[in-house]
Amino acid sequence: MKCYEIGTGYTSIPPKISAATETVVYELSCSLQKLGVDVTILDMEDPQRKDCEVPIEEVPFPAWLRNSDVRLGLLHKARRVLYSLSLTQKLQTILKNSKEPVILHFHNQYNQFFFQVLTPHKLRQKAKIVYTNHNGHWSREWTEAEALLRRNYYQEIACMKSADIVFVLNQKMEENLLQNLQMPKERVYRIGNGVNTAIYRPLSHEEKAKLRQKWGLEGYRLMLQVGSVNENKGQRRSLEYLLPQLKADKNLLFGYAGGIVDESYHRDLLALAKQEDVAEQLRYFGIIPPGAELNELYNCAEATLHSSDYEAFSLVWLESMSAAVPLVFCGKSKDLFPSELELVGSQNSAQLRHRVQERFSWDTIAAQYNKVFESMEREC
């Protein structure tokens, strides 16, 4: 059964910037292909696309809209809508020309919502609609998140209710869909994210020494945080957690990498560092593309910090563990960590890597997805 993995329109695939969902789409597609699945990625037009192991069909998209806007404002939403409209036309053409049912695997609410609203019912019946929910808000307590979810994510609710299958990334998401949206249990599957263990790996002492020189970290110890700079990711909470250690050891650095989503929040972070006389111990590495360069940075760190208020299934957890770098949790972020990773009580580097190799390589995760896809094919 032909499977189309659908890019979201945020940035092209393979991603050139830190973009979790696009990374998932690409890595999942590569591993599905290795399993023998007939998979194609549908993605925004990009003349400068990176090399890709999986066939890609491009969705026409104006050049002036292709630059990613990490601030997630009105322009970002407009881009999503315009891409979704073009995507819908592309999908309708595919379905009209398809002689067999296909799987359409959506990863973004706008993409699926506009498709299902604008596509005639008879044409939609030629596809099995699959939706993976990457939205961390669904991992929060229902009493805290319900108003926001119903106000801002009503499209996502409609998408999940109309999909043939919905994949969620953690137990709390599953509970919220089953108990609070009354989703049928047979349509909801929980599968976590994966990691490319060939890319995210521990490097030799010699390699690390060269990288510390490259990144200007010789003579320093680095505590690293990876992720968008905003209130939810909590770089300020990480800094507050580290303040006593930073003041006691001037060779200790707090480094962070990711797009600045909230510039005001970032200014507050810098102001706090200056106020506490640790500004010289902050290092902003900018937006690091996923892959070998990001793995370099993990390998320069003594530990990776995690301070999020909410998460669906953080790729940073898996990337750090796969690189054999311990995780440090600040505040309540430890409660977000999925029990199946079984990290607590064991931060031995070899055990960290073995755990993700065993359970969370993309090949393992893709096999779980494919098992569901095969059951859908048998029903056709």
**pLDDT tens digits along 282-330:** 999 999 999 999 999 999 999 999 999 999 888 998 999 999 998 888 8
Sign (positive or negative) of CA dihedral 141, 6, 165, 370: negative
What pLDDT shows up at residue 337?
Answer: 61
Whether residue 21 contacts residue 134, with contact meaning beta carbons closer than 8 Å, is answered with yes
Three-state SS for 270?
helix
Q: 229 — phi, psi (to 5°)?
A: -90, 105
Euclidean distance between CA atoms 316 and 298, whole angstroms: 10
Sign (positive or negative) of CA dihedral 235, 237, 240, 241: negative
With a cut of 50, list the residues of the chain below it in pLDDT. 70, 343-345
In angstroms, what CA-CA distances link 20 with 195, 233, 314, 371?
Answer: 11, 14, 8, 23
Helix or strand (DSSP H, E) at 14: none
Please list the residue range(s) of the chain that carry CATH number 3.40.50.2000: 2-194+362-379, 205-359
Q: Is 292 left (phi over 0), alpha (psi -120 to 50) or beta?
A: alpha
**Helix locations, 51-107, DSSP H:** 74-97
Total Cβ atoms within 10 A of residue 171: 13
The overall pTM is greater than 0.85: yes
Work out the burial of residue 107: count CB atoms within 10 Å of its CB; fewer than 13 is exposed, 13-18 middle, 19 or more buried: buried
Which structure tokens are listed for 208?
Answer: 């690390």
CATH topology of domain 2-194+362-379: Rossmann fold (3.40.50)
Partner residues linked to 229 by β-bridges: 260
Cα–Cα nearest to 226, from 319, 87, 326: 319
Q: Helices 263-275 & 235-248, crossing angle to 10 degrees?
A: 20
The CATH number, out of the four listed (3.40.50.2000, 3.40.50.20, 3.30.1220.10, 3.30.565.10), of the domain defined by the range 205-359: 3.40.50.2000
Q: 137 — phi, psi (to 5°)?
A: -60, -25
Task: Write the DSSP string, 314-364.
Answer: -HHHHHHHHTT--EEE-GGGGGGS-GGG--TT---HHHHHHHHHHH-BHHH
What pLDDT shows up at residue 71?
Answer: 55
CB-based contacts of 302: which residues, under 8 Å, 6+ apart? 221, 222, 223, 325, 326
What pLDDT shows up at residue 62?
Answer: 80
Euclidean distance between CA atoms 335 and 25, whole angstroms: 26
Whether residue 70 contacts residue 84, with contact meaning beta carbons closer than 8 Å, is answered with no
What pLDDT shows up at residue 257?
Answer: 97
What pLDDT shows up at residue 14?
Answer: 95
